[in-house]
Amino acid sequence: MELEKIIRDTAKNLLKLSAIVLPPTVEKALRDAYERTPEGPGKVQLKAIIDNIEAAKRLKKPICQDTGVVSFYLKVGDDFPLKSGLKRILTEATVEATREVPLRPNAVEILGSNTGTNVGTNIPWVVIELTEGDYLEITAFPKGGGSTNVSQVKMLSPGLGMKGVLTFYIDSLLNAGAAGCPPYFVGVGIGGGENVCVELAKKALLRPIGVRAEGELGKLEEKMIEAGNLLKIGAMGTGEGPTVLNVSIETACRHPASLPVAIVFSCWALRYSTARVAKSGEVEYLTHRGIVLGT
């Protein structure tokens, strides 16, 4: 099969998989939370979430009515062809997935209306990392509006250091409350500039749950999970069950005068899906191995 068609079909399938089946580490974190939550309203909400996850798989329907705004994160090998055509191919895949899955149209032009296709000005958003090799790695990352609405970015005074980061995280969680459908997965980006810290925080959400950053940052992640859960916002705001299931931090060097920090929330429905397409046309699914949804 022609490589362009393979990429388009793979991207379309990744959008379908991400809308319908959570990555296994995300589902496990939710199931573990259900097991350790005592009887009560929090457990009832977690049970509803798990029933929903199972129903979505059985019925092959999206996990949530809000199927998100579409981003793709790519790793493009220097020996992989079709580079200049990738954005067009991914845009076509998004239009087809919107029609066929179907996905809710979520792309609204800033001075216009809903395009109806999930594509429009700069959407799908495509982030490209160049790498060695002859493969293309595609991650589809649709993100819902509820948790996006409570995400925050702030330029801290560098003197505040990691204590300032922790305080900003807690303030962001208090501000979010239950509005972003907790329990939350949280990506934290520290450093770079305004745009860099937000991209880092979004990328942090793609790290498998439970894989800690090295050294002091890993300890900070654990401290943030513990501190977040002391707030007792709870599953869907019930005050019971976990508030935060995971925190992942990514960093970049900062300007001496700046400490930019982004706190990007994901609701319990942290959806993404990754596959690798070789130059030969061979496709390997990485996050959703062996899961076939068919048509």
- Site of interaction with ligand SF4 (CB under 6 A): 64, 66, 144-147, 180-181, 267, 269
Q: Chain centroid to CA 279: how far?
A: 27
- The first and second tokens of residue 74, run together, are 């790519």
- Which CB atom, from 124 or from 144, has the smaller least distance to ligand SF4? 144
Please, what is the minimum distance in Å from the beta carbon of residue 198 to ligand SF4? 18
Q: Using alpha carbons, list the distances in angstroms from residue 143 to 34, 105, 126.
A: 23, 13, 13
Please, what is the minimum distance in Å from the beta carbon of residue 244 to ligand SF4? 15
- Which CB atom, from 62 or from 189, has the smaller least distance to ligand SF4? 62
3-class secondary-structure state, position 210: coil
Q: State how far the Cα of 261 lies from the Cα of 190, in Å rounded to an integer.
A: 5
**Paired residues of 246 in beta bridges:** 185
Q: Count CB atoms within 10 A of the CB of residue 6.
A: 18
The one-letter amino acid code at 267 reads C
- Which CB atom, from 7 or from 236, has the smaller least distance to ligand SF4? 236
Please, what is the minimum distance in Å from the beta carbon of residue 219 to ligand SF4? 29
- Which CB atom, from 86 or from 262, has the smaller least distance to ligand SF4? 262
Please, what is the minimum distance in Å from the beta carbon of residue 144 to ligand SF4? 2
Q: State how far the Cα of 161 lies from the Cα of 53, in Å rounded to an integer.
A: 39
Please, what is the minimum distance in Å from the beta carbon of residue 67 to ligand SF4? 8
Inter-helix orientation angle 41-59/24-36, to 10°:
150
- Which CB atom, from 91 or from 147, has the smaller least distance to ligand SF4? 147
Q: State how far the Cα of 124 lies from the Cα of 141, in Å rounded to an integer.
A: 10
